[in-house]
Every structure is written in C-alpha cells, then in structure tokens.
Amino acid sequence: MDILKADWLTDGLIDFEYKKYTVLAYLKTVKGNFRKNQLFPFLSDLVFHYNNLMTVKNQKNLIYDNFPKTITKADFKKLKITYKKIVEDDDLMREIEDIISYTAPQFEYTLSEGKEIYEFIESNVTLTPIGLTPIYSKEGYLIFNQGESKNVNVYRYQVSIFFSKDEEFKGVHTKYLMESSYSITRPFEAIKLELIKQFKELPNPASFLVRSSMVVPMSQTLVPLAKRLLVKELSQNAA
C-alpha cells in the first residue's frame, strides 16, 4: 500500500483488526522505501498521520474533522449533530481509542527510523554558494553532485512565501533543467556562467552546489533535502 488516506482512521469500516492491517500494510511499504533511502513523500506523510493521531487522542472534539463528509451550508447543522452523536457513541469511541493505542506507537517507531536515516544522509550533504549570492535570492539554480561522479544535475528553483495564521512558511519549487559535468578546467563557476548565458532572464542568479558524499535517489531524497537546506540558508542570510 503506497498511500494512506488522510482520513483513514474514520473512513469506511471502523474496526480494530481492519485498521490494524491497513496501517501495517502501509508501514511495510514505507519501511521498504526507507531501506532504499527513498525518504519522501513517506517521511512527511508519517509526520502528518502521527500528528493527526495525537490530535484526535488529545482532543476528541476534533474528530469531527476526520470523518469523511460533503457538507452544504444547509446541511451543516444537521450533519454536525449527527457527528456529535457518533463521537458520543461509547462503543465506537472505545474502538477508535483502541486503534489509536495500537497504531500510534507503530507510526512513532517507523517515524524514528525515517528520521535517523534522514539525519545520516543530511550529515553527508552540503549546500554551498557558487560565487557571490545576490540580494535577490528567491530564484536561482541548484547544482547537484553525488559520490565520486563528475556528473551534475542542474535544477532551477523558486521560493514562494505563504502565511498560516501568524506563521510564515517558505516553499521551494524546483524544475529540472539538464545534466552536465564539471572538471578542473570546467569548475562549477563556469557552469553558472553558462546558465547565465543560456537563461538571460536571470542575469545575476543565486546558485548553490548541493554535494552528497553518498549516492541517494534524487527526487525522493536529495532534492527534498536540498530544499530544506536552501530555506535554512536563505533564512540565515536574511536574518
């Protein structure tokens, strides 16, 4: 099972054995991907599901939001009463509590495995500026190099900022551009100059080298990890 629905806890049959095997099948898939150093989107999904379980466990009233529903304005009041009755059903709530009690430690254990792998890979990855970083750094290039290879993968990035309540979040969109290579006579600075000549809309781009001493999957691991490192780097520069 590659995907676990966001509302898996309350979707369909609410039965301990059924939910138990649904979650175990999903976690088996996740662990299989972790063994291949494929971290995303599985690690993010685990955090999401675990946090949801803790929210439901600690604040039962929020379980309303976990029940699948299509609400029109006219039906909202009626449906809210219906869901309240479901939550107040002691037998049903005991079943849900049993499901949470069993699955939460399973999620937590798998999540700790994923974080350990992430931290190990991250310790082998560096992100360094290529040349001077301009004041405007919300757009630019990421140049990836892994292991002993002389090959590089070039991505263009764009940072977007969005807000949730009082918090500010940065999202990074990346687009694969090309494969290239570097050498003593063609260093990373030369690749940056070639990008400037080819893509004239960015005459003074921020450019970063992402180097991993170990070879890991690009799209499932290194690119998402680089996005996080980039946000950290740009945030520090802006401080």
Euclidean distance between CA atoms 111 and 44, whole angstroms: 9
Residue 165 clears pLDDT 70, i.e. is over it: no
Q: Where are the domains of the chain?
A: 16-122, 125-238
Euclidean distance between CA atoms 48 and 42, whole angstroms: 10
Residue 87 clears pLDDT 80, i.e. is over it: no
Q: What is the pLDDT of residue 93?
A: 79
Strand partners, 173: 158
Q: What is the pLDDT of residue 208?
A: 98
pLDDT (tens digit per residue) in 21-49: 999 999 999 999 999 999 999 999 999 99
User: Which segment, 52-61, 166-175, 229-238, is predicted with the most confidence on average?
Assistant: 229-238
Euclidean distance between CA atoms 130 and 140, whole angstroms: 11
Residue 107 clears pLDDT 70, i.e. is over it: yes
Which is higher by pLDDT, 65 or 127?
Answer: 127
Count other Cβ atoms within 10 Å, centred on residue 61: 9
Structure tokens that stand for 237 in this block: 């520069």
Instruction: Please report where in the chains the tokens 């299989």 appear, as a residue.
Output: 32
Instruction: Please report where in the chains the tokens 């994923």 appear, as a residue.
Output: 114
Residue 144 clears pLDDT 80, i.e. is over it: yes
pLDDT band at 142; cut points 50, 70, 90: very high
**Quick check: 177 and 155 in contact, CB under 8 A?**
yes
Q: What is the pLDDT of residue 76?
A: 53
Q: What is the pLDDT of residue 169?
A: 65
The DSSP string of the chain is -----TTTTTSS---HHHHHHHHHHHHHHHHHHHHTT--TTHHHHHHHHHHHHHHHHH-GGGGGGGS-----TTTHHHHHHHHHHHHT-HHHHHHHHHHHHHHHHHHHHHHHHHHHHHHHHHTTEEEEESSPPPS--SEEEEEEEETT--EEEEEEEEEEEEEETTEEEEEEEEEEEEEEE--SSS-HHHHHHHHHHH-TT-SS-EEEEEEESS---IIIIIHHHHHHHHHHHHHHHH-
Q: What is the pLDDT of residue 82?
A: 53
Count other Cβ atoms within 10 Å, centred on residue 43: 23
